[in-house]
Chains A and B, each alone.
Chain A
Amino acid sequence: DSGVTQTPKHLITATGQRVTLRCSPRSGDLSVYWYQQSLDQGLQFLIQYYNGEERAKGNILERFSAQQFPDLHSELNLSSLELGDSALYFCASSRNYRGPGYTFGSGTRLTVV
């Protein structure tokens, strides 16, 4: 157990729908990162939050959004889902905003049908 908790582990939904993925960071970690892992694009950085504020943005689509709450858990919202959004979504956390070596959760597998 890495200490980073992601729920749900699996999610199946239809095109056009909206889903929310949840991440609880490791105790004491203030920074949360979201990554998407797909067969064609590989692992891509989506967005980072630090202590409730957006810190950095990567290849995140406009249909996707995220937030980090006062208790430091984070949610990734995916809307108007398309088949191509099917992927593994990972959350990672670190002690501060400078990352590296951060801890990954086991991911949420999203299947859009």
Chain B
Amino acid sequence: GNSVTQMEGPVTLSEEAFLTINCTYTATGYPSLFWYVQYPGEGLQLLLKATKADDKGSNKGFEATYRKETTSFHLEKGSVQVSDSAVYFCALSDQGGADGLTFGKGTHLIIQP
């Protein structure tokens, strides 16, 4: 079956540091890949997505590139802010989302001023 593996954290960084959150996946076929962010007390918000190999998703300074050869979709940001503190989830779907998303366990990111 499908699965997503990501570092669970917490990951603690100083403001303006470079961020990488690793995500690797196992899936049949050619999945779409997503990063969601969850702020305290809120639901999940779609951060970015990529639907085919070598696609790069980007939003709010975050980027991730769909690497089929390494089955990875690592999240990066060049300079994090305190407001980026949240839980980040990597996810995949192999039916365009029609059968629901498979999520990783989530990575708790803490940015210190």
Contact = CB atoms under 8 A, between A and B. Distances in A.
A104 B100 contact: no
A35 B98 CA distance: 14
Interface residues of B, number: 26
A55 interface: yes
Q: With a 10 A CB-CB cut-off, give which of B43, B49, B105 has the most chain A CB atoms.
A: B43
Contacts of A98: 95-98
Contacts, number: 71
B7 interface: no
Interface in B89-111: 89, 91, 93, 95-106
Contacts of A2: 43, 45
B103 A42 contact: yes
- By secondary structure, the A interface counts as strand
Given A4-B43, A90-B44, A106-B42, A100 B100 contact: no
A42 B104 CA distance: 7
Given A98-B95, A101-B34, 20 more contacts: A42-B104, A42-B105, A43-B89, A43-B101, A43-B106, A45-B100, A48-B100, A55-B98, A56-B95, A58-B99, A94-B97, A99-B98, A99-B101, A100-B32, A100-B51, A100-B93, A100-B96, A101-B49, A104-B36, A104-B45
A104 B44 contact: yes
B28 to A, nearest CB: 16
A48 B95 CA distance: 13
